[in-house]
A and B are shown apart, each in its own frame.
Chain A
Amino acid sequence: MELVTPEIGLVFWTSVSFFILFIILAKFAWKPIMGAISERERSIEDALLKAEAAKDEMARLTNENDTLLKQARAERDLILKEAKTLKDQIIAEAKETAQKEGARQIELARIEINNQKTIAMADVRNQVATLSLEIAEKVLHKQFEDQSKQDALVAELLKEVKL
């Protein structure tokens, strides 16, 4: 019976001591410890979430990079193709222009040549005429140095003239 009879003294001291223990531990031990533990748990969870997010972001970026690369490549091809077309076009145009220009030049040259030829021919004709006249003059001069011949010719001409 002694064993199961609570003594008031021990009940009193246990109550007082436990109360003090509880107050001190609650204030100086449990509060900071639980706070630190839950804080750390939260930060770990945060870090994990962030890592997950970073992984997703990374995957997204890689994806985006791939798409960008593909796009860039396609664009480059397009640009190259366009450039080539343009180049061909330019060359073709240049050729055409050159041809046209050449033809025009040739035409001009021909016209010029013709002109020059005509002028030259006219000139030559003039000179030939002058020359022929000079020659004829000289021949005539020579032929008619002799008076008799002049008379003979006049006579003959007169014969021809029928009045």
Chain B
Amino acid sequence: MYFSHVLKSKKIALSLILGVFLTFCTCKTFAIQPEHAAETEQPAHGEHAAEGEHEEAFNPSEVILEHIADSHSIHLWGTTSIALPVVLYTDKGLEVFSSANFEHGHKDFGGKYYTYRLVKDKVAIVEGADSLLPAATLLSLNKKLIDISITRNVVSMWMSMLIIFIIFLSVSSAYKKRQGKAPKGLQSFIEPIIMFVRDDIARPNIGYKYERFMPLLLTVFFFIWVNNLIGLVPFFPGGANLTGNIAVTFVLSLITLLVVNLNGNKYYWKHIFAPDVPVWLYPIMWPVELVGIISKPFALMIRLFANITAGHIIVLSLISLIFVFKAASVAFVSVPFVVFMDVLELLVAALQAFIFTLLTALFIGTAIEEHHH
């Protein structure tokens, strides 16, 4: 009786499954290593061995990174994919061509001004036999090649924007049609969320001036949330990892940085440049405060990026296990875990949107706060 009671507990049942899963994993890896060794030692033995030789060794980290990163094509199924336009801003002018020309990186493409090659799904200029000039990034700027292609993430972002437009413009028209009446349908689903952003995010953190910042907070909240959710869909309309891309979170946090500091009042700036410390400490305080200004949005950027990317990596790792072990039976264990992770990611999707908006509101609140002392 006592034991059955223990087994009924959900937590214990879950940890038992995990335990069994983990022992299974270790057993499997031990079992696979000698097998692999045997295969490589004696090739050309039957179909199985031949297949192993043809296929490249499965490298989960490569696959995962490929899924996490941006791409110049949208993979649909098998070998079918949509080629996206490549837009390059070079020092000689603008170049636009289809990424199909690269044939997934197998071929160089001679454009108007340079010859381009796709290396790890990133465009680079072929300058000589083996010298490549990669496209500029924010960390390595060069004026010769700036890649502003319509990538998978850009397409995904535009689709999400379309969804957001459809949802909110229809909700907005519903408000116009049903003026002063109780909400109905989609409107009644959206309204509590808007009220939540207003009453639990904006008002407590910003104060009575919250109305000015509502459009920004709502846009940020729904943009992050919708894109987080689309990122969870593993096939075509989803598949991109937009909010798990540092460039996107960089822009979002940059907006927060700008809004906070452009709205900062005299108390905010006084606190930074003339804090209540002896004057000789100012040279120390200024850098510290400036780091403070930067680090707050920086933390926002990293938090959203890391949370979403981590979720994707875990899900992909669990799926990769099936291919690492080359055993369909692993699916019985890893698929439930993937489902569990996906459900968790649903929570994280909303949670991260909430946290990003909340902290933005908080930073705005501290910047426009009136001090009475």
Residues of A within 8 A of B (CB): 2-15, 17-18, 20-22, 24-26, 28-34, 36-37, 39-40, 43
Contacting residue for A28 out of B120, B158, B169, CB 8 A: B169
Known A-B contacts A10-B154, A10-B245, A13-B157; the reply to A29 vs B148 at CB < 8 A is no
Known A-B contacts A9-B149, A10-B153; the reply to A39 vs B180 at CB < 8 A is yes
Residues of B within 8 A of A (CB): 65, 68-70, 87, 120, 122, 135-140, 146-151, 153-154, 157-158, 161, 164-165, 168-169, 171-172, 175-176, 179-180, 191, 194-195, 198, 211, 214-216, 218-219, 223, 245-248, 250-252, 255, 305, 309
Among A11, A14, A26, the one with the most B-chain Cβ atoms within 10 Å of its Cβ is A14
How many Å lie between the Cα of A22 and that of B218 in the bound state? 9
Which residues from chain B contact A15 at a C-beta distance below 8 Å? 251
Contacting residue for A14 out of B149, B164, B168, B247, CB 8 A: B247
Known A-B contacts A3-B69, A8-B146; the reply to A25 vs B138 at CB < 8 A is no
Which residues from chain B contact A2 at a C-beta distance below 8 Å? 65, 69, 120
Which residues from chain A contact B216 at a C-beta distance below 8 Å? 22, 26
- With both beta carbons as reference points, the residue of chain A lying nearest to B190 in the complex is identified as A33
Contacting residue for A30 out of B165, B218, B255, CB 8 A: B218
Q: Are A14 and B195 in contact (CB under 8 A)?
A: no
Query: At the interface, is chain A mostly helix, strand, loop or mixed?
Result: helix
Known A-B contacts A6-B138, A8-B146, A33-B171; the reply to A25 vs B69 at CB < 8 A is no
How many Å lie between the Cα of A124 and that of B219 in the bound state? 140
Contacting residue for A36 out of B70, B154, B176, CB 8 A: B176
- With both beta carbons as reference points, the residue of chain A lying nearest to B148 in the complex is identified as A9
Which residues from chain A contact B165 at a C-beta distance below 8 Å? 21, 24-25
Q: Are B180 and A7 in contact (CB under 8 A)?
A: no
Q: Are B179 and A36 in contact (CB under 8 A)?
A: yes
Q: Are A25 and B135 in contact (CB under 8 A)?
A: no
Among B151, B172, B250, B305, the one with the most A-chain Cβ atoms within 10 Å of its Cβ is B172
Contacting residue for B168 out of A5, A7, A25, CB 8 A: A25
Which residues from chain B contact A18 at a C-beta distance below 8 Å? 219, 223, 251-252, 255
Q: A9-B151, A39-B179 are in contact. List 12 more A-B contacts (CB 8 A).
A: A5-B246, A6-B247, A8-B147, A13-B150, A13-B154, A15-B251, A18-B252, A21-B219, A21-B223, A25-B165, A30-B218, A30-B219
How many Å lie between the Cα of A33 and that of B151 in the bound state? 33
Known A-B contacts A2-B120, A17-B157, A43-B180; the reply to A7 vs B164 at CB < 8 A is no
23 contacts between A and B (CB under 8 A): A2-B69, A3-B65, A7-B135, A7-B147, A8-B146, A10-B151, A11-B250, A14-B247, A14-B248, A17-B157, A18-B251, A21-B161, A22-B219, A25-B215, A26-B215, A29-B171, A30-B218, A33-B172, A33-B175, A33-B194, A34-B214, A34-B215, A37-B175
Q: Are B148 and A12 in contact (CB under 8 A)?
A: yes
How many Å lie between the Cα of A2 and that of B252 in the bound state? 19
How many Å lie between the Cα of A36 and that of B140 in the bound state? 48
Which residues from chain A contact B65 at a C-beta distance below 8 Å? 2-3
How many Å lie between the Cα of A2 and that of B147 in the bound state? 15
Q: Are B146 and A17 in contact (CB under 8 A)?
A: no
Which residues from chain A contact B255 at a C-beta distance below 8 Å? 18
Which residues from chain A contact B248 at a C-beta distance below 8 Å? 10, 14
How many Å lie between the Cα of A10 and that of B154 in the bound state? 7
How far does the Cβ of B220 sit from chain A's closest Cβ, in whole Å? 9
Which residues from chain A contact B247 at a C-beta distance below 8 Å? 6-11, 14
- With both beta carbons as reference points, the residue of chain A lying nearest to B305 in the complex is identified as A4
